[in-house]
Amino acid sequence: MQRITALWQASPLRLVGALFALSLAAMMAVASGASFTSTFIALGSPQARFLLLALPALLIAIAMLGRLWREGGELVAGRGAA
């Protein structure tokens, strides 16, 4: 909880941006299972849609959250040393 508080105090915009990216990735993962007609044959299967659309978005969001978590730890450690 200290990491999140430290990140919020240091840069609330970055934390909100990362949470937005995570929610966007989750929405893409849900939408990739939606049934729609596609002219690109590979997007006709739900598994292919997930791999091509949602998986990269989820990986980017997880990487962003990991970087923020690491920066939060550094902020907390810096406050403890000061």
Distance, CA of 65 to CA of 6 (rounded, Å)? 14
For 53-78, the pLDDT digits (tens) are 777 888 888 888 888 888 888 888 88
Token pair in block for residue 10: 């240091």
- pLDDT of res. 74: 86
CB 7 within 8 A of CB 75: yes
- pLDDT of res. 5: 82
Distance, CA of 26 to CA of 7 (rounded, Å)? 22
User: Rounded to two decimals, what is the model's pTM?
Assistant: 0.56
- pLDDT of res. 43: 65
Indicate the average pLDDT of the chain.
Answer: 76
